[in-house]
Structure 1
Amino acid sequence: MPISTARVQKRQLPMMQLWTALAVTVSVAVLGADLWAEEQGEIITSHGYSFYGDLRYPADYSHFDYVNPDAPKGGEISLPFVGTLDSMNPYSGKGRAHLFSIFAYESLLGESPSGEGLPADVYGEAYCLLCETVEYPKDKSWVIFHMRKDAKFSDGTPVTAHDIAFSQNLLLDEGLKSYADAVRKRIPKIEVIDDLTIKFHFADGISRRSLIETVGGVPAWPSKWMKERGVGLKDDWLESPPGSGAYIIDDIDLSRQIKLTRNPDYWGKDLPINKGRFNFDTIKLEIISDDTASFEAFKSGLYTFRSEGDSKKWAAGYDFPKVTDGFIKKAELFDGSPPTPTGVVFNLSSEILKDRAVRRAIALMFNFEWTNESLQYGLFKHRASFSQGTPVMANGVPEGAELELLASLGDLIPAEMLTQDAVVPHTSSSKRLLDRRNARAAQKLLDDAGWEVVNGRRQKDGVPLRLEFLFNSTSSPTVTAAIENYISNLRGIGIDLQLEKVDSSQYTSRERGRDFDLIYESYAAFLGTGTGLSQYYGSEAAEFSLFNPAGLASPMVDAIIDASLAAQTREEEEAAMSALDRALRYEFFIIPMWYNDVNWVAYYDQYDRPETQPPYAVGHLDYWWYDADKAQKLRDAGVLR
């Protein structure tokens, strides 16, 4: 559980649309900020929070603009999970749990249980859920949450400030080490003022970024229930603690299915933050061994909503009768988040991979253009940035405020970063898998680094250039083919690279233990700053952070993150984010691969959604709803039971 990065986003927003969205949000907020926060001397009391104090929705808002407040309640939606699960506790860092395991739990400031933005039409804002108001001084040295008196867990027990304090302390004592270490330094004291009032004190001399969002985002667990049963974060939670959220975990079979049921007595169903949301009576997760079996299960109707990530399936796999007859709908939905930085990650603690020249040589053998045309129907684009397609993406040589920031960091910044364009991926020929020009360049890098060819294999001082690529065997056939072809290229220049295909549980265990040289994994994209950036990209937790698989530890990156946390204006923050993107690309710890700037979804035609798609969420588990008449037509046609 990383400390908030002001809601890290996953995909890209086309440049003009993002500029427009941000401009509208900022202009509306500036005009109305005085109406939305009551300032009592130096104390601000509000119904929500953003770092700059601007909120799109006023205190008397009735619902979010993008939802249908009159959406009917009922029906079921079902989704797949490909792989294996062995826990319902995602907070301990042990075992493999699913997103559904957190659906039951709420926080002081509302968050989407599906991990998407809330609200889904603005960035960097949060609104009260378990709290009624949030109170803090202008210097943000502390925060007080005034909680709602009617909030209850699903067993009827009130949610109190004692539960919030218990939950925070449980995360510190038994949760992820990277989270606990970061929070203890920043939040030295938690004070329960009364049953419905809790105060968090923040350390002196530190950035105020993400502190209020972090404590406001702690899941509320029932202290009485957990203490009586001796349950903590060390346990698997096959019997999950009651939550206060809209859904109850109703049935668990980690080999087959997880079932969530909407709580008819949900305490918060009439709150403005929840209007038009949580519309399904039942949400099911079907657990399936591999992606091929999962697709067949969708075709048969075992589950009803599929997010598609395989370009081959999207281009050519949806030609079966249920689609051609209109019973299954395909949609490409707008995506306003920068794409997830997915690619081949280098383990920087590997002795061989500490040499940047070796990493560059390995990267040169990936042929995106051939992969995209031959395996992916030309549907993807080549990612370059950690904030692709947004205003904070680094482009060209640094200028203006970004250049001033970089120059101010002195010797921490390599001289070439100030005068050269931001690092971009190499280009390759799409005509053949092996691009000879890139192969020659890669071989020269290896030669210059002392890795000579002996009997067709690279070695240095008698040590072979031998690497292990850890790979999840449940990956789609298309991704598998892309990686296998890439490895073929690497072997062609004398690198002894072994592809280690393992199941999901072994993959998770070995990744956490850094038992690999190369891995196909992801980092976090960003639009703004937050203390969570240190857990993804910082040195402090690099040795053990689950969010930093490369083990990146760069004084340059640390300094830029610190500068971003000290930013006092949006302009300063954006300059720091561009500098961070530039620095991460320079460090070269991940080979950027492909991305999609829309969401591909397919679903049985029994669901509806708002006409206007918000930029930061697909929303199928949040604000879509079930159409009973459409569902009856599917049953009458024998498409679904």
Structure 2
Amino acid sequence: MTPAPRAAAKSQTKADPRARLLLALASGTALALTALAATAQEADENGVIRAFGYTNFGELKYEPGDVLDYVNVDAPKGGELSTWSLGNFDSFNPYARAGVPASLASIGTERLMTEVLDDPYGAYCFLCTEVEYDEDRTYATFYLRDDVTFQDGTPMTAEDVKFTHELFVEQGIPEYRVSAAQFYDSIEVIDDHTVRFNFSDFMPPKVRVQQAGGSPVFSKAWFEANEIRLDESQTEPFMVTGPYVLDSVDYNRQVVYAKNPEYWGNDLPLNQGRNNFDRIRIEYFADTSAALQAFTAGEYLYRAETDPADWNTGYDFPATRNGFATMEEIPDGTVAQRFSWNFNLNEPKWQDERVRRAIGMMLNFAWSNDTLYYGDYGQPESFWTGTDLAATGTPSEGEIAVLQPLVDEGLLDASILTDEVSSPVEHDASTNRPSRRILREAAGLLEEAGWIAGNDGIRRKDGQVLDLTIIQFNQRYDKIIAPFLSNLELIGVQGNLERIDTAQYVQRRRAGEFDLTNQAFQMGFEPSTGLGQWFGSEGADESSRNIMRLKDPAVDRLLEVIETTNELQPLTDATNALDRVLRSINFDIPVYYNPDNWLAYFNVYKHPETLPPLGTGVLDFWWYDEDAAAELRDAGVL
């Protein structure tokens, strides 16, 4: 495929990058209902609901025995999916702060309930057959399938479910552990295939069933026999129930997972047309350039691209020119991921919002996007960009109702009720250098905060130089960081990029030893308790998500409102209010989001013509075409 036709198609796609999602939601659940009680099932005379799935809003799309609409039930089984990863790894435990986990380390982990890619609010029984709960959500009882086995052939029981929850409470990462211990009053094993979660008042009713249903299940016997801990680095994956097991590993070079021929779920209706590959191979590379070269040489055959420069210039090689490899742009229907640089708010010099705002004004996204990124990116204004959960303009009446009490208590300035929502400053795309107006405004903010430029142009306060260090292990961001650092010099700030290896990068982020570091914020369509891990004060200093160490009482109060809001419009209003407040704090510098998924693959891989709005499903429901592979081998491509 040549660059010119692809570029033309791309401009049409980007006109409305979320059209597929909006169409799906408009015709489905999201715009239809409001009340928590309006689920897909009706309660019996005792106020008890027993069903195949659960949703807070609208109707479940699928019923028991249904096959997913977006899969090819006749997809052939077999072949290998080969892809790549960056950096290194030394563990197969993705739940511990110790070690760097291998790519897809949790590939075999399954949960009581599962989500699907065309029902944004639904959760469906997977390791269970039904879930029972009362109208007030004081409990949820899961009736487990009696045919589920772990990968060693032993049966899964309710005791394994209870054990796994207790394991996370005792040994999970801090930001989860502090909350999980309060989720349930008790977990009862009724019999081998029945487990009951009795909820505490700590957990909002609307999230209770999904929270319990989202529990992964590990083998209690395997953990105890091998004396495995959840908070330690591990050299093999945990004993779980899923379709793929570790086949081979060459540390920091390659990891291979293989289909378990004895997988219990092969005939499950929700699994039809899925788990089609016999093997999944991940090749590791020290840098992205080497990885791209290896792809063009056919060393691995599938690549999700994230760099616009590579996407626009790096794929003109024989296989694409001759039609043996495909470049495909698929609109991303999820909430846009907000990639940003985050300040370390524990550092005193970054605790003044004016300083953070002035620093952020020096990123010229317009120039960087046009000059470095071929205009492919968008700059994320919101934490929910592209959805109605994003704050816009001045607050609505619904938002004001949420924000007014916080203003009255002195937790927020009254301006939040009348001002336009904070957005990144608009720059001239023709030059990286900010305009005189922007430079004056930024300099004024720094002077207001007490950072005064000396005769050498460098800003100081109480004898301390205003400098910052960005830590990074991936060289692909150098080309946007360097112009940013140059602009900082114009306002008297000394900036530095410190390149470190993956292990140091992980350790320093955890220890809070940085000024700026990157974070990719990924929000969902149904905001709830998980937001606390991103923005809550509790556990902020140890959180892997709240990397900026945000501790703001107004934000904490808004999180509580969202957690306890049971209707769709009030939930939207509360999320708009949270988004507005988060953006006013300026704890991060929004860099970009990508409205599309960029996929490059050799034509041994196929997928259904129509893809679901909430994911591309490469590892889920694509398949290997042996006839196409034979054709490529005959042509000398493979």
Task: Check whether TM > 0.5.
Answer: yes
Of 64, 70, 76, which residue of structure 2 is paired with 1:66? Answer: 70
For residues 616 and 41 of structure 1, the distance between their equivalents in structure 2, rounded to whole angstroms, comes to 37
Task: Please give the secondary structure, in 2, of the residue aligned with 1:406.
Answer: helix
Aligned counterpart, 2:10: none
Q: Which amino acid aligns with 1:242?
A: M
For residues 490 and 34 of structure 1, the distance between their equivalents in structure 2, rounded to whole angstroms, comes to 53
Of 216, 219, 222, which residue of structure 2 is paired with 1:222? Answer: 219
Aligned counterpart, 1:127: 124
Task: Please give the secondary structure, in 2, of the residue aligned with 1:227.
Answer: helix
> Are residues 1:535 and 2:517 paired?
no
Aligned counterpart, 1:95: 99
- How big is each residue's C-alpha offset from its partner over 1:206-261, in whole Å with a ceiling of 9 and x where there is no partner? 41233322222222111111111111213322132332111111112222111111
For residues 353 and 400 of structure 1, the distance between their equivalents in structure 2, rounded to whole angstroms, comes to 33
Of 12, 23, 28, which residue of structure 2 is paired with 1:25? Answer: 28
Aligned counterpart, 2:7: none
Aligned counterpart, 2:577: 579
Aligned counterpart, 2:467: 466
Aligned counterpart, 1:48: 53
For residues 156 and 447 of structure 1, the distance between their equivalents in structure 2, rounded to whole angstroms, comes to 68
Listed as ranges, the matches of 1:168-183 within 5 Å are 168-183=165-180
CA 1:210–1:27: 2 relative to 1, 3 Å:
closer
Task: Please give the secondary structure, in 2, of the residue aligned with 1:359.
Answer: helix
Asked if the contact 1:256–1:288 (Cα under 8 Å) also holds between the matched residues in 2, the reply is yes
Structure 1 residue 198: Cα displacement: 0.8
CA 1:426–1:314: 2 relative to 1, 3 Å:
same
Task: Please give the secondary structure, in 1, of the residue aligned with 2:534.
Answer: helix
Asked if the contact 2:25–2:31 (Cα under 8 Å) also holds between the matched residues in 1, the reply is no
Aligned counterpart, 1:388: 385
Aligned counterpart, 2:447: 447
For residues 87 and 195 of structure 1, the distance between their equivalents in structure 2, rounded to whole angstroms, comes to 32
Asked if the contact 1:524–1:536 (Cα under 8 Å) also holds between the matched residues in 2, the reply is no
Asked if the contact 1:152–1:267 (Cα under 8 Å) also holds between the matched residues in 2, the reply is yes
For residues 359 and 180 of structure 2, the distance between their equivalents in structure 1, rounded to whole angstroms, comes to 37
Structure 1 residue 428: Cα displacement: 0.7
For residues 206 and 250 of structure 2, the distance between their equivalents in structure 1, rounded to whole angstroms, comes to 40
For residues 494 and 259 of structure 1, the distance between their equivalents in structure 2, rounded to whole angstroms, comes to 50
Aligned counterpart, 2:8: none
Task: Please give the secondary structure, in 1, of the residue aligned with 2:133.
Answer: strand
- How big is each residue's C-alpha offset from its partner over 1:483-532, in whole Å with a ceiling of 9 and x where there is no partner? 12211211232212221110111101111111101112222323222111
Q: Which amino acid aligns with 1:107?
A: R
CA 1:155–1:593: 2 relative to 1, 3 Å:
same
For residues 296 and 16 of structure 1, the distance between their equivalents in structure 2, rounded to whole angstroms, comes to 34
Aligned counterpart, 1:113: none
Task: Please give the secondary structure, in 1, of the residue aligned with 2:231.
Answer: coil
Listed as ranges, the matches of 1:16-415 within 5 Å are 17-26=20-29, 39=44, 41-52=46-57, 54-61=59-66, 63-110=67-114, 118-204=115-201, 206-409=203-406, 410-411=408-409, 412-415=411-414
Aligned counterpart, 1:616: 614
For residues 385 and 220 of structure 1, the distance between their equivalents in structure 2, rounded to whole angstroms, comes to 35
Aligned counterpart, 1:515: 513
Structure 1 residue 17: Cα displacement: 4.7
Asked if the contact 1:361–1:445 (Cα under 8 Å) also holds between the matched residues in 2, the reply is yes
- How big is each residue's C-alpha offset from its partner over 1:526-554, in whole Å with a ceiling of 9 and x where there is no partner? 32221110111111121211110001111
Task: Please give the secondary structure, in 1, of the residue aligned with 2:204.
Answer: coil
CA 1:635–1:141: 2 relative to 1, 3 Å:
same
Q: Which amino acid aligns with 1:74?
A: G
For residues 237 and 331 of structure 2, the distance between their equivalents in structure 1, rounded to whole angstroms, comes to 35
For residues 182 and 99 of structure 1, the distance between their equivalents in structure 2, rounded to whole angstroms, comes to 27
Aligned counterpart, 1:569: 567
TM normalised by structure 2 equals: 0.93
TM normalised by structure 1 equals: 0.93
Task: Please give the secondary structure, in 2, of the residue aligned with 1:527.
Answer: coil
For residues 551 and 29 of structure 2, the distance between their equivalents in structure 1, rounded to whole angstroms, comes to 35
Matched residue count: 619
Asked if the contact 1:452–1:459 (Cα under 8 Å) also holds between the matched residues in 2, the reply is yes
Task: Please give the secondary structure, in 1, of the residue aligned with 2:486.
Answer: helix
Aligned counterpart, 1:420: 419
Share of identical aligned residues, percent?
38
Structure 1 residue 92: Cα displacement: 1.4
Q: Which amino acid aligns with 1:368?
A: F
Q: Which amino acid aligns with 1:445?
A: L
Unaligned 5+ runs, structure 1? 1-10, 111-117
Task: Please give the secondary structure, in 1, of the residue aligned with 2:104.
Answer: helix
Q: Which segment drifts farther, 203-212 or 571-580?
A: 203-212
For residues 184 and 357 of structure 1, the distance between their equivalents in structure 2, rounded to whole angstroms, comes to 38
For residues 587 and 40 of structure 1, the distance between their equivalents in structure 2, rounded to whole angstroms, comes to 50
Q: Which segment drifts farther, 216-225 or 342-351?
A: 216-225
For residues 626 and 144 of structure 2, the distance between their equivalents in structure 1, rounded to whole angstroms, comes to 37
Asked if the contact 1:26–1:54 (Cα under 8 Å) also holds between the matched residues in 2, the reply is yes
Asked if the contact 1:334–1:613 (Cα under 8 Å) also holds between the matched residues in 2, the reply is no
Task: Please give the secondary structure, in 2, of the residue aligned with 1:80.
Answer: strand
CA 1:205–1:240: 2 relative to 1, 3 Å:
closer
For residues 323 and 53 of structure 2, the distance between their equivalents in structure 1, rounded to whole angstroms, comes to 43
Aligned counterpart, 1:434: 433
Structure 1 residue 51: Cα displacement: 2.6
CA 1:606–1:54: 2 relative to 1, 3 Å:
same
CA 1:319–1:435: 2 relative to 1, 3 Å:
same
CA 1:636–1:36: 2 relative to 1, 3 Å:
farther
Asked if the contact 2:337–2:594 (Cα under 8 Å) also holds between the matched residues in 1, the reply is no
For residues 272 and 326 of structure 1, the distance between their equivalents in structure 2, rounded to whole angstroms, comes to 35
For residues 59 and 168 of structure 2, the distance between their equivalents in structure 1, rounded to whole angstroms, comes to 30
**What CA RMSD, in Å, does the superposition of the two structures yield over aligned residues?**
2.1
Asked if the contact 1:93–1:175 (Cα under 8 Å) also holds between the matched residues in 2, the reply is no
